[in-house]
Amino acid sequence: MNIVLMGPPGAGKGTQADFMKAEFSLPHISTGDIFREAVSQGTELGKKAQEYMNAGKLVPDELTIAIVEERLARKDCLQGFLLDGFPRTTVQAEALKRVLQKTGRKVEAAINISVPQDILIARLSGRISCKECKTVYNTSYSPPTRPGICDKCGGELIQRSDDRGETVKNRLLVYQEQTSPLLDYYDKHKVLYNIDGNRDSREVFYEIKEILQGL
């Protein structure tokens, strides 16, 4: 299964990806996670990506495409993959198509999770995650048992630096302008599935699971 997971910031892509990879054993490729890891390790990639991420802008296409192309060429992706947060521009979508065509592959489903904007803002401002094991919580919707402490490993819970004020607004704007046109793109390719993400995350997953089982 070659799956693309789409939706605005805070729609629940990462949350659903966790369910999906557990159920279908797919390698999960999140460009956001790759960039955050590079930033925390202080690599050249991290230094380049950080200024764009902090401003709520997209990291340049050529940098992002090169990373995904390298990752998709690895053995574990040949039987299927779950892309989360990529593609985000038409240039990225076209590059993905070309890269997959080289090995006779294509995107089989683009799962688009929709959530109203006011809920997205509430979710992003309440998101906290564990510094150690990366488990994600939400201060309003799924709080940890003890404030600031991870239930799973006892690690410190922190807020993502791009989940604050103006950066959130910019990310939502960038999504509207640069990423939402991809819904049309995948609709024309007859692989778009729209999901209402404004429900309990297990209900959302149940619908995604049915779609994937029907592929």
The CA distance from 44 to 123, in Å, is 31
Q: How far apart are CA 211 and CA 11, in angstroms?
A: 18
Examine residue 107 and tell whether it contacts ligand AP5 (CB under 6 A): no
Q: Note if the bond before 60 is cis, omega within 30 degrees.
A: no
CB of 88 to ligand AP5, least distance (A): 4
Residues 6+ apart with CB under 8 A from 121: 10, 168, 172
Q: Which residue has the tokens 């993959």?
A: 81
29 in contact with ligand AP5 (CB under 6 A): no
Binding segment toward ligand AP5, per CB under 6 A, in 50-58, 93-101, 104-112, 185-193: 50-58
Q: Confirm or reject binding of residue 88 to ligand AP5 (CB under 6 A).
A: yes
93 binds ligand AP5 (CB under 6 A): no
Q: Is 88 an annotated catalytic residue?
A: yes
Q: How far is the CB of 93 from ligand AP5 (least distance, A)?
A: 10
Report how far residue 144's alpha carbon sits from residue 128's, in angstroms, rounded to the nearest whole number: 9
Q: Using CB positions, name the residue nearest to ligand AP5.
A: 32
- Least separation in angstroms between residue 204's CB and ligand AP5 is 5
Using alpha carbons only, what angle is made at residue 185 by residues 205 and 17, rounded to the nearest 5 degrees? 25
* Residue 52 within binding range of ligand AP5, rule CB under 6 A: yes
- Closest approach, Cβ 215 to ligand AP5, in A, equals 22
Q: Which residues pair with 127 in a beta bridge?
A: 138
**Annotation marks residue 97 as catalytic:** no
Q: Which residues pair with 28 in a beta bridge?
A: 82
Binders of ligand AP5 in range 179-198 (CB under 6 A): 197
Q: How many residues at the interface with ligand AP5, by CB under 6 A?
A: 35
- Using alpha carbons only, give the angle 180, 31, 77 rounded to the nearest 5 degrees: 105
* Chain residues in the site for ligand AP5 (CB under 6 A): 7, 9-15, 31-32, 35, 52-53, 56-59, 64, 85-86, 88, 92, 123, 126-127, 136, 138, 141-142, 162, 171, 197, 200-201, 204
